[in-house]
Structure 1
């Protein structure tokens, strides 16, 4: 396994949850737009290293881009979200999702900086944040993280049996007003054979 994977105790010390400690790299890149010459994007999610420290820091700055490292994120796996991890790991490209916001970080820069808030491997978490109108971006998860996530899903996810849909013929019929309707197979009118 790579530097991504560790085992870490929950904050109360009573339970242990599988987790991955990561750092997020955000990139500010120049774009051809006279009203907004720069944009922020998620560049990468990398294994956390002790040498990164605890504070965000500028890695690179030139006329075309800036790269900022944001260390110290813990991506924990929760058994009650096994479905969300299953949905991620069964896609063609499993990924990390990162929620980030623009913040006034006077200590970091003279203008707003994109600051990651949360990193997850849960499809459900990412969907909830998107529904809440947050900025959520993704980067591919490396093969060892995908394998680790697959082991967790295998251990904790239970596929829900599909409910058999009741045939439509057994449903009671109603008219357009919701009143019970009756269908008859009796002939009410004479035809060519009656005579």
Structure 2
């Protein structure tokens, strides 16, 4: 079994004030950075003050999968390639209240779309140039565009009425005199 290309990352989440009187704070994705051993394996509060908080979530692995090559292609070819992070609010030992917990990180547009379809919280931040190059090299090697399906000429399409029912066209006269053909 060959090992998939992968990199280990850490996710930084931040708590920021809002202008809402009902919800004075909200959490958002701040950054995705290369993971370092010194980060450890548990979430750590990097900053806590009157203007918010920052939490580091280390040890997330980003793998590239051949069947996601089109999703990487879509990401690389956008004006701003990015990381997609799925996260949920969870209780964390040592935290006075629930904090956002990143569950997974991807570079695939398709994978992120599936998470969004499943009603998950997904946010994005720009990916650095070296990650974009890595993803680009992978999709160049593995992405095979689906062949375009030949479009039938309009003249071969089935005629339908406005309700979608088949319509037949005839050159025979349905009403009026039978045969003479003259305007007489």
- Whether TM exceeds 0.5 here: the answer is yes
Structure 1: runs of 5 or more not aligned: 1-13
Q: Report matched runs for 1:50-69 at 5 Å.
A: 50-69=37-56
Aligned mates of 1:108, 1:99 — CA distance in 2 = 22
1:108-139 CA distance string (max 9 Å, x none) = 31111011000000111100010111000000
* Structure 1 residue ranges (4+ consecutive) displaced by more than 2 angstroms after TM superposition: 171-178, 184-190
Aligned mates of 1:101, 1:82 — CA distance in 2 = 26
Partners of 1:57 and 1:108 within 8 A in 2: no
- Which residue is 2:61 aligned to? 74
- Which residue is 1:128 aligned to? 114
The alignment's TM-score, normalised by the length of structure 1, stands at 0.84
- Which residue is 1:18 aligned to? 5
Which has the greater radius of gyration?
2
Which residue of 1, 15, 19 maps to 1:28?
A: 15
The Cα of 1:63 is off from its aligned counterpart by 0.3
Q: Report matched runs for 1:85-124 at 5 Å.
A: 85-105=72-92, 107-124=93-110
RMSD: 2.0
The Cα of 1:181 is off from its aligned counterpart by 2.8
- Alpha carbons of 1:164 and 1:72: their partners in 2 closer, same or farther (altered >3 Å)? same
Aligned pairs, number? 178
Aligned mates of 1:80, 1:101 — CA distance in 2 = 26
Structure 2: runs of 5 or more not aligned: none
- Which residue is 2:34 aligned to? 47
Aligned mates of 1:130, 1:167 — CA distance in 2 = 37
1:119-163 CA distance string (max 9 Å, x none) = 000111100010111000000100111111000010000112211
The alignment's TM-score, normalised by the length of structure 2, stands at 0.89
Partners of 1:27 and 1:68 within 8 A in 2: yes
Aligned mates of 2:108, 2:114 — CA distance in 1 = 10
1:86-107 CA distance string (max 9 Å, x none) = 11111111100000001122x1
